[in-house]
Amino acid sequence: MLNYRNVNIFFIIFILIWILLDRRYDLSPAAYAWILFAYLLILFCGSYFIQLGYFFKSVCSGGKDKKEIGLSFDDGPAESFTPMILDVLREEKTEAAFFCIGKKIPANENLLRRIVEEGHVIGNHSYSHHPLFDLFSVERMQEDIEQMNVLTQSITELEPKFFRPPYGVTNPNLKKAVERGGFISIGWSIRSMDTVIRDENRLLQKILKSLKPGAILLLHDTSPATIKILKELIVQIRQQGYRIVRLDKMLKLNPYA
């Protein structure tokens, strides 16, 4: 299995063997640079692609035996966009998961309550969503994540157990913070790229072509394009024979502590 521990063991053994061979056969010094490059490339991919489970396991899809899809929205609550998304979900009788950023909750407490009241799940997407979050110490990461939970619990009386790493990036420090907090890391199997793709039809078709049983779809309730395609997306997902199931129900996991 390709994970942080196994890769480290492999590279340590490989380097030791290479050093022995180098002493005997005087191999090219450039090879050491290539070994380092290969290691760093694997490290980058393991950090960036949450589906690999390189540092720790994240749930990135449900069972493949049923045509079910889970919708998730990151980076809210957003005063300008989240209400419109909730309106569409209510109109289409669709439940979803909202991975919220704690610092956006003050002044949007009613939106957080509405998410819960209308049958959706709240997940933890950190408090700060800081650009340098991945460089935080274990203690600072844990404090940041728990700050989001404390705020959410004070407003909704619910303590999120689902956690989605900021930017989807993982590392050894985050592994410890997630384990200490007893969180379940939730990734995705379809990244919509709705924060990048502005063309509505292109965005819609990209998502529809990626549908698979058990897929977890990553969207953002900060994207104008998402709002414009959401109703049609739900309609076409169902036309393809899929059921849209709330994330915790599809995964059969408790979303709250």
Domain limits, the chain: 4-48, 68-251
Q: Report domain 68-251's class.
A: alpha beta
Q: Other CB atoms closer than 10 Å to residue 118's CB: what's the count?
A: 13
Angle, helices 200-209/224-239, rounded to nearest 10 degrees: 40
* Pairing of the two strands 97-100 and 121-124: parallel
pLDDT tens, residue by residue, 123-179: 999 999 999 999 999 999 999 999 999 999 999 999 999 999 999 999 999 999 999
Strand partners, 25: none
pLDDT band at 222; cut points 50, 70, 90:
very high
Mean residue pLDDT across the chain: 95
Distance CA 101, CA 99 (A): 7
Task: Please determine, for residue 15, whether its predicted confidence score (pLDDT) is greater than 90.
Answer: no
Give me the percent of the chain exceeding a pLDDT of 90.
86
Q: What is the pTM of this model?
A: 0.93
CB 111 within 8 A of CB 133: no
Task: Please determine, for residue 30, whether its predicted confidence score (pLDDT) is greater than 90.
Answer: no
